[in-house]
Structure 1
């Protein structure tokens, strides 16, 4: 048994009723999915509150030699002073990856501990050539509020010392 031919009006009705409507997020929704924040990372390489260690330590932590691998668990604060509000921790490693300049391959998770980002993380990996005034490292993912995040971190040396390096981070993410 064959079906009778469909009328053009029936075909049009079926096409319209089965079409999926796709809408783009509004500018407001788009803005809600972006985050920008400014913070400071304290990389303390010696002393009682040390937060960074060479995997194979030597007597001179302040020098960076090709092949050195450093593991860190650094505080992230609101301001350049270590006693300013704690926002989280930067945990990971950096390796001296250049034979011709002081440049590191950085791999880290920024773990947030307060405010609306509590429990969320951002994963950053990239090249940090510390002689450049501004370095750009990519955000390659995240968890919690930042699940599937993409973006970048503008990384500046706020203060470089023998005991502590204070890094100024401008984080721009899109989730």
Structure 2
């Protein structure tokens, strides 16, 4: 009887050790990061958010039935997917340097205080930052057209790995009937 209890005790101890060892295997050792000196980069470009025409760069993928006229291009609760070109200048035929892909939702009932909440990955496809991007996740108070508005940079990849910072957005041109807009982005990016 004592030997059965002793065997059971040892079996339980081995099970505890095995379970403890397997639970620790999902991570490696923590090491001190050996980061280079932090850099600050300023990038200025234009984003073309086109909702109209045969080839829009942003499309409404969902909207609430109860929050306004269905003919409103950006009614409250509307969710958009975007694949917007990034260009050097505001003109439609300006040199394309990347694209802004992501989503945004109309997040304000009061059109006088029109605000969107957006997630976007702004990827650069030419030049010094080819293959790099900055990630945005922020509230964008679009109705503050008179001046610049600020949104947060929350990450990046490539040369902008571990990025943080902000983007000052100024509306260059907007058509309130169609929702089409050309926006000037002035990004201050802190990265390693």
TM-score bracket, normalised by the shorter chain, equals: 0.7 to 0.9
Q: For 1:76, which of 70, 86, 93 is the aligned residue?
A: 86
Task: Report the Cα distance in structure 2 between the residues aligned to 1:46 and 1:150, rounded to whole angstroms.
Answer: 33
Residues 64, 102 of structure 1: 8 Å contact kept: no
Q: CA deviation at 1:98?
A: 1.4
Give me the TM-score of the superposition, normalised by structure 1: 0.77
Q: Larger % of strand: which? A: 1
- Match of 1:173? 189
Task: Report the Cα distance in structure 2 between the residues aligned to 1:94 and 1:73, rounded to whole angstroms.
Answer: 11
Q: CA deviation at 1:63?
A: 2.9
Residues 73, 179 of structure 2: 8 Å contact kept: no
Q: Larger % of helix: which? A: 2
Q: CA deviation at 1:34?
A: 1.2
Q: CA deviation at 1:134?
A: 1.4
Number of residue pairs the alignment of both structures matches: 145
- Match of 1:87? 97
- Match of 1:118? 130
Q: Does the alignment pair 1:142 with 2:156?
A: yes
Structural mapping, 1:9-88, within 5 Å: 33-56=39-62, 60=71, 63-88=73-98
Q: For 1:99, which of 98, 103, 109 is the aligned residue?
A: 109
* Segments ≥4 residues shifted beyond 6 Å: none
Residues 47, 163 of structure 1: 8 Å contact kept: no
Q: Could you list the runs of 5+ residues in structure 1 that have no partner in the other structure?
A: 1-24
Once structures 1 and 2 are overlaid, which stretch shifts more, 50-59 or 84-93? Answer: 50-59
Give the 3-state SS of the residue equivalent to 1:145 in structure 2. Answer: helix
Give the 3-state SS of the residue equivalent to 2:109 in structure 1. Answer: coil
What whole-Å deviation, never above 9, does each CA across 1:32-86 have from its counterpart, x for those lacking one?
x1110110000010112211110137963x5322111011100000000121111
Q: For 2:169, which of 155, 162, 170 is the aligned residue?
A: 155
